[in-house]
Structure 1
Amino acid sequence: MIDFLIKSTLSLVVLLAVYHLALEKEKMHHFNRLYLLFSILFSFSIPFITIEVIQEVSSPEASQNIITMEGSSTAVLEDSTNYWLIAVWSLYTLLTLVLLLRFILNIIKLTARTKSNPTIDYKNSKLVLVQEETLPYTFLNSIFINETDYHHRKIEAELYTHELIHVSQRHTLDILFIETLKVIFWFNPIFIFYKKAIQLNHEFLADEKVVKSHNNVPFYQNLLLSKANANPTYYLASNLNYSVTKKRLIMMTKTTSPSRTVLKKLVLIPLFTGLTFLVCTKIVAQETKTTKKQEPSKTSNIFDDYYNNTTFKIKDEKGKVTTQKKYKELTPIEKKAIPSFIPKKEPLPTPEELLAILKKGASESIEIDIYDPKNQKVKKSEGETHNVSELTENPSYPEGMEKFYSFVAQNYKIPTQANLKGKIYVTFIVEVDGSLSDIKLLRDIGYGTGEEAVRVLKLSPKWNPGKVNGEAVRTMYSLPITIQSKI
């Protein structure tokens, strides 16, 4: 929303500034009317346009989701409730409703005036005869005039012509459009200036028609000046004495060459194009391969290279070789059973000696016996609980721990307590079938945070159980949960 307001307002300010500097003083009022309306529509659409510019950058690949704790994970929960935002939206809604009510009441009042007063059909419009002293003004296809002045023929023909232009060119629709925007975006003053520019352009259009029809500029100018101090009418109506200033009087006698208008119109093409690229361009970084990018897999590459020419002979329970594999084909348990390539001596080899060993490579054939007692984990009696350090395979959430964190965050309800921050510690047992049992709260920070953690864990789907030598066992698991309230 903020991005929309910034981009649209920037576009509105630039286009209105161009209008005042280059277009307002030129006698091309129909084009200017379209320009002002199009500028608003263009500015509202420009935030939704994105032009991506790809820029290559060199960056090493970063390892993600690194967990250094064995047998435990941390889920961080943050309260997303923002009461300042709620207060701002509530204030906006209240003021918008007040302005909308005022807007609707003015429309109803003008419509009621049309129905409650005598009307006369007049050249595709309707003359509404009102009792109060007022200058002619227009709303939609109705021209409101004083009844006494009408019957005594005190209203000049130029005034009828002026108001008929407002009717025939539907100037009221422009005003209703900009007023609707002012109701929605009441906090943005730029629409006040757009309304002034649009209304003044309406008067330029009406004045131009009067001058062409009656061909008496001095008389019409004096007529406008004589009516300039009359009482203002409804802000939704087009009225004769709007902004009777030097601008209107000068515009009546001004001429603009066709070549000048064409040139100024052509200049607007690069203006809109440049504004689009300025506001809508988004630089997208595209990483290129670098030497550092391979660093996260450096350890695995060392073993791949070291055992590149080695054939591993896998023994069964009876100590017989049953299959042969390359290093990449070994299971995690089989890799753990590979004899260490570091010599058992004191002191340990220096980095230079270790590098020489790695460069030399492993022998062509190595036997692996995962059933050798020294490679076996001791399985406890049936039903007893194992710690993570006693397992050959740790328990895990089926879709990965990131999905488990998301599950906890989505289901955990943070108490409405200000400045609530701290850690909750819980333990549970991952059963042989993957279900969670014996959920215990070791420590909480009060306000029901621990009880809520226990409730959420009871909703958890089944896990993949921990294993010892490929057999599922009951496993004790711990989980810290960090609470961070934004209230």
Structure 2
Amino acid sequence: MKLSKTVSARLRFCQRRMDNRLIAYTFGPKPSAFVTPFFQSSTLKQRILMLQKSETNRWAIVKYGFVALFTFSLFLFVAACEDRAKQDVVNNKEITVSGQIFASDGIPIPGANIVLNGVQRGTTTDAKGRYTITVPANGTLLISFAGHKSQEIAVGGKTVVNARLAEGSDGTAGRFSGQTTDPNRPAEKLTAEQDKEGIFTVVEKNPEFPGGMQALSDFIAKNMQYPEAARRAHVSGKVFVRFVINTDGSFQDVQILKGIGFGADEETIRIIKAMPRWKPGTQDGKPVRVRYNLPIKFDLENQ
């Protein structure tokens, strides 16, 4: 049975189309990446190898975690060290600190000692109890005055440091060291004709009245002659006096820093000059001249 020409032509077209598809599939582009080619031997081999591969060792996971934690901790440590170094630079920076020192009753104390802890640097308050000193921002100030308990105050970067000293004695007044003069005046030195030593205000060991501070208080109370003018005017208060104790324990340059008048200032000077010689102060184990500040209390009620 012979096929018609039309059918024969269609069969030849279909055969050529199939041949072209086979050639295109064999040598043409690979199938789309969105279709999983399970029939490809290379991909199938990879999947079989992955299925046969053992699970990751738990100890390896722990090690990886430890390494990551150590790296992170090291980063934090380095950052903290950098911050600490920057903070140390700030803390060691010199700043100017000023303030005022008061007694327990709120009255300013002239002649109080302000010393930088651990360094031979210090100053004294003026007649209004004010002072100015240059210290590191992280320094500590030691504040003392005869007849009052000493205080230790951290600067903490503050530029104003005030203090109130309670009456009494804690035995620490003679432990501070340093050399200074009144901050409102240039350094005062004795002339070569008088003495080559300087006048200290803060020394390793302060001058001492024979018998100590209690004996000094007893001497003042026993020898004080309450001024009649102050008695009539009912005047009480403290007279702050400054004087120089020489290397032999004698006195000179007695000055009233802050008085109350009515004859109390003159009586204070008389008491100082009537005192016996003191044990001189020492610096580096040697006697030195020391400028000493002392409050003399006039209390009418106890007379």
Normalising by structure 1, report the TM-score. Answer: 0.23
Flag the structure with more relative contact order, 1 or 2, with Cα contacts below 8 A and sequence separation at least 6: 1
Asked which structure has the greater CA Rg, the reply is 2
Greater share of strand: 2
Greater share of helix: 1
